[in-house]
Amino acid sequence: MEILNQPLSQKVNDARVQLDTHVREIVGWHFNRETGSPFWLEFADKLDFDPRKEIGGYDDLKLLGHFQDEWLRGGPVRRWVPKAYADEPVYVFETGGSTGIPKSRISIRDFQIDYEIYSETLSDGGFPYGSDWLMLGPTGPRRLRLAVEHLAQHRGGICFHVDLDPRWVNKLINYGKHQELDLYKNHVIDQALNILRAHESIRCLFTTPKLLEALCEKISLKKAGIRGIFCGGTEMNAQFHRFAREELIPGIDFVPTYGNTLMGLACCKPFDLADNYAIIYYPPQPRAVIELVGLENTEETVEYDQTGRVMLTTLTKEFFMPRFLERDEAERARPIENYPWDGVENLRLLSELTESVVVGVY
């Protein structure tokens, strides 16, 4: 067994070395007066140490504490733009915001890079090069809208869109307006059906679990020519995964994905019936890390197969977000050949929040 495991353990060690090297590079970039962002330079001024000297790897990021989501609410948003990119065109993407001020994240090319890396994981059979896409998910000031379009373009296709405002959906749910919610869902689905009927070149679909269910009630996606579905945007569990593969879209390449405006895109472990439809995500390390920490003690990593709170770290030259405590929990999954670093299984809202957070049609 040791011999068999050796290549994976070697890969795990190599990945860890690469991560620590990457951390030093990113910390060196963001805390450098020539290249760093105003936010992190001001942050460094208040520290009694120089992060570039003290942070030698991922574990040392603890010295910076936890990234606070309040820092992303409100402006000036340019304080997040690294000086090295001051003259580049800047996108701003929002997350949250059904009530109050949303969190904003700036991006220059990160969203494109993340989706180009992700593209490498898609099969040519399910997502044929040159095929057109339908993006049936949240639009507006969201990263997904442009990112999926870029993915389609990167793979030689054109992306069609349907407008969808998830904040309105959340409000309808909170107001108990079920009938209006159903009307809105039908309005969205009707538009998707029109696009699918009008453009036979569409072979690939991005959508959310609930919209996929709604769409499949109206049409056989297989008969409509869909070959691959990239599904994400909201929580997905093993039961939905099984239902999708067995009943909604048998024969179509189904790729569950965990996207996050602040982190990027985590890929799903390739489907294996032995996993009993468990959805196991792996972050795009070293550009981002997901660590599962104790629900009580967020300074400790939980053991494999144990439940922990999701802690995200984003490590790109555009955006540095160390040790951000997400509102999700999961079980810690072991490294695999394709992704020789920790993954997360059964990702879901923190149990303590399940009463207060709604997941609508999007």
Partner 1 sequence: MIHIPILRAGRSYKSLTTVDVPHVKGGEPVARVSQANQGLIAKDLHSVDQNWRALEALTVSELLVICKEAAQLFAETELPLDGASQSPDDYVHCLSATTGMPESLCWKNMAKIRVVLEELEAILGGLTRGLDLSVLDEGWGVQDGRHLSYVPQTEALGAVLPNNSPGVHALWIPAVALKTPLILKPGSLEPWTPFRISQALIEAGCPMEAFGFYPTDYSGSSEILLRSGRSMLFGGGTTVSPWKTDSRVQIHGPGQSKIILADDTIAGWEDYADLMVASVAENGGRSCINASGVWVPSDGKEVAEALASRLSRIEARPLDDPEAGIAAFPNPEVAHHMSNLIDSHLKVPGATDITAMVRGTERLAQVDGCTFLLPTVIWCEDWQHPLANTEFLFPFVSVVEVPQTAMLERIGPTLVVTAITENRKFRRDLTNSLAVDRLNLGPIPTNQISWDQPHEGNLFDFLYQQRALQIEPRR
- Kindly list the residues in this chain that would bind partner 1 in the complex (CB under 8 A): 175-179, 182, 209-210, 212-214, 216-217, 237-243, 247-248, 276-277, 359
E runs forming strands in 59-214: 91-95, 103-107, 132-136, 159-161, 202-207
Residue 241 C-beta: closest distance to partner 1, Å: 8
Residue number, 217 or 299, with CB nearest to partner 1: 217
| Distances 219 to 42, 146, 239 between C-alpha atoms, Å | 54, 26, 22
CA distance linking residue 72 with residue 236, whole number of Å: 26
Residue number, 238 or 350, with CB nearest to partner 1: 238
Residue 189 C-beta: closest distance to partner 1, Å: 12
Q: Which two tokens stand for residue 267?
A: 């890929």
Residue number, 11 or 210, with CB nearest to partner 1: 210
Residue 260 C-beta: closest distance to partner 1, Å: 22
CA distance linking residue 17 with residue 286, whole number of Å: 10
Residue 209 C-beta: closest distance to partner 1, Å: 8
CA distance linking residue 280 with residue 12, whole number of Å: 17
Residue 38 C-beta: closest distance to partner 1, Å: 43
- The two beta strands, 253-256 and 228-231, are parallel
CA distance linking residue 78 with residue 87, whole number of Å: 11
CA distance linking residue 57 with residue 28, whole number of Å: 11
Residue 98 C-beta: closest distance to partner 1, Å: 16
Residue number, 209 or 283, with CB nearest to partner 1: 209
Residue 329 C-beta: closest distance to partner 1, Å: 16
| Distances 331 to 124, 207, 231, 281, 303 between C-alpha atoms, Å | 31, 25, 21, 11, 9
Residue number, 182 or 303, with CB nearest to partner 1: 182
Place of tokens 């072991």: 334
57 forms beta bridges with none
Residue number, 325 or 359, with CB nearest to partner 1: 359
Residue number, 240 or 282, with CB nearest to partner 1: 240
